[in-house]
Amino acid sequence: MQVTGTVSVCDFCLECQRVCTTNLIPHVQNSTDYAIARKENYDSVGTNGCLETRRNFESGSAPCDHMYQAPVDFSGIFVIKNFVTGEEERALCDAIYGTGFVNSQSGRRKQDYGPKVNFKRKKLKFAAFTGLPSYSQFLYERMKEQKRLADFEPVELCNLEYCSDRGAHIDPHFDDSWLWGERLITLNLLSSSTLTFTSDKHPGVEVRVPLPRRSLIVVQGAARHQWKHSISRDDITGRRMAMTFRELSNEFRLGGSRERDGEELLKLALTFQGCAVEVP
């Protein structure tokens, strides 16, 4: 953990797929200690550690020099680098910019493909929702090739554009969990950025998750429910496009009180014939 002023910054390592401390290697004097430290770290990560970390431990190769998990309860992030190619990114952005945007808060612009929602009053309107856009279908199919996303059924896509010249950012917040389910999935396009997590339970700690250009990030578990997420204006360089897909909560799934609404939404979403809900 580096200490910067009064805020402790923990970096999420994309190789280990966990929050790591970076400065422990100098404390390890020799290869026996190194092996012991690795074993201790492996044991402490245990079955909660990502498969990649365990595989690397088992095969004896360190993915990076990160030996210890930072002492915070931060789990539920998974980043897939190069989820789309440069050509696919171009085609996606051409399609996105073929439709108008509406101005949103904090300098952002957005396009919505999903139901109109009043979260406070727990009210939904589907009239304007015609489904997810056709250009997103291959992303949906590619996500499902990932074991952990095989059952991911998105019912909403929100494209958010951030430009540094408008000072665009998003303040720390939790996403709704009445309608939206466990996994929030964002494809990060046009430039790299950083998603910052903060928690009232860990005052003064910031976990920074790098978002390489063209990577896909999955936010769930503690990262979804116990840590707020934000994008600082300092982490926007030039222009960034975030495509965020959301799934349904249990209330809208089989056996939930709003099961029928969920079914209808899902049917609409997966036609992949949608137009943006509110266009200027």
Ligand X SMILES: O=C(O)CCC(=O)C(=O)O
Which chain residues interact with Fe ion by CB under 5 A?
175
Per partner kind, with CB cut-offs from 5 to 8 A, the member of Fe ion, ligand X, none near residue 263 is none
Given Fe ion, ligand X, none, residue 13, with its beta carbon under 5 to 8 Å by kind, binds none
Residue (of 114, 125, 189) closest to 153 by Cα position: 114
Q: For ligand X, which is the closer residue by CB, 84 or 158?
A: 158
From the list 80, 17, 21, the residue with the least C-alpha distance to 48 is 17
In the bound state with ligand X, the residue whose beta carbon lies nearer, of 111 and 244, is: 244
Residue where the block lists tokens 């509110």: 278
Burial of 139 per CB tally in 10 Å (0-12, 13-18, 19+):
buried
> How near is the Cβ of 173 to Fe ion at its closest, in Å?
6
DSSP bridge partners of 8: 3, 205
CB of 229 to ligand X, least distance (A): 5
Cβ distance to ligand X smaller for residue 23 or 97: 97
SS3 76: coil
Contact footprint for ligand X (CB under 6 A): 158, 160, 170, 175, 186, 195, 229, 231, 242, 244
CB of 186 to Fe ion, least distance (A): 9
With CB cut-offs between 5 and 8 Å by kind, which of ligand X, Fe ion, none does residue 244 bind? ligand X
Closer CB to Fe ion, 20 or 160, in the complex:
160
Nearer to Fe ion, 1 or 160 (CB): 160
Question: 8 or 196: whose CB is closer to ligand X?
Answer: 196
Q: Which residues neighbour 115 within 8 Å (Cβ) at sequence distance 6 or greater? A: 124, 125, 126, 129, 155, 156, 179, 265
Query: And the tokens for 161?
Result: 């554009």
242 binds, among Fe ion, ligand X, none (CB under 5 to 8 A by kind): ligand X
Give the whole-angstrom CA distance, residue 223 versus residue 86: 29
CA distance 126 to 225: 27
Identify the CA nearest to 76 among candidates 207, 209, 181, 223.
223
Nearest-CB residue for ligand X: 242
Cα 20 to Cα 12: distance, rounded to the nearest angstrom? 6
Q: Which does 124 bind (CB under 5 to 8 A by kind): ligand X, Fe ion, none?
A: none
Give least dist CB 236 to ligand X, A. 9
Q: Whole-number minimum distance, CB 170 to Fe ion, in Å? A: 7
Closest contact distance (angstroms) between CB of 175 and Fe ion is 4
Nearer to ligand X, 11 or 66 (CB): 11
d(CA 150, CA 48): 20
Q: Which of 47, 26, 50, 52 is closest to 37 using CA atoms?
A: 26
Chosen from ligand X, Fe ion, none, partner binding at 136 (C-beta under 5 to 8 Å by type): none
Quick one: what does residue 66 bind among Fe ion, ligand X, none, with the CB cut-off 5 to 8 Å set by partner type? none
